[in-house]
Amino acid sequence: MIQIRDEIASDIVVREHLLDACFGPGRFLKTSQRLREGRQPARGLALTAVQEDRLVGTVRLWDVEAGCGRPALLLGPLAVDPSLQGVGLGGALMRAALARAAECGHGAVLLVGDAPYYARFGFAPEKAAGLYMPGPFERERFLGLELQAGALEGAEGVLRATGALEPLPEVAAEAAAFAARRRAA
């Protein structure tokens, strides 16, 4: 049985291994990663899927400003163990993350990802049309979702990272060191 729960400190290093398996070292070059680097996920919005105490999925949401001071969340990465891809775990993680974000009162979620996949959750490129990432990105993959009606209406400008700068305690240093070793490899 797979359980979706809040991420805990001991998940962080294992999560990095899962992200490597799913995305490889190129993930460190993405603009989305630059926005997340050195920050904590939004409070209560880092979820992990575990099966028999083995981490098999992850999703995090991050505080950002969607142009002109408008708060939003940036989703990503969403990753599922390659041996479990295609069984609906990614969808379950997405639904859990979006429900939690709505419960916490967030108005909008943005992401860079596969438009056909994320459309089933309500994401659309039109919702992010006036927004830009602060580096290279594929316009057709930049998607938005309003959790509250009108939350992205008229939003214009460049996404800016906000939220806590302090990384999680001691394991964050270990995760950062692991990430640095992977980038150097």
105-132 confidence digits (pLDDT tens) = 999 999 999 999 999 999 999 999 999 9
The percentage of the chain sitting over the pLDDT mark of 90, rounded to a whole number, equals 71
- CA gap 96, 117 in Å, rounded: 16
Beta bridge partners of 159: 66
In this prediction, residues 148-177 reach a mean pLDDT of 77
- Pick among 3.30.428.10, 3.40.630.30, 3.40.50.720, 3.30.930.10: CATH of 2-184: 3.40.630.30
Q: Residue 170 pLDDT > 70, yes or no?
A: no
CA-closest candidate to residue 13, choices 182, 161, 164, 165: 182
Q: Residue 177 pLDDT > 90, yes or no?
A: no
pTM for the model stands at 0.86
In this prediction, residues 22-33 reach a mean pLDDT of 81
| Residue environment code for 65-96, b if the CB has 16+ CB neighbours within 10 A, otherwise e | bbbeebbbbbbbbbbbbeeeeeeebbebbbee
- CA gap 121, 117 in Å, rounded: 8
Looking at residue 180, its pLDDT comes to 66
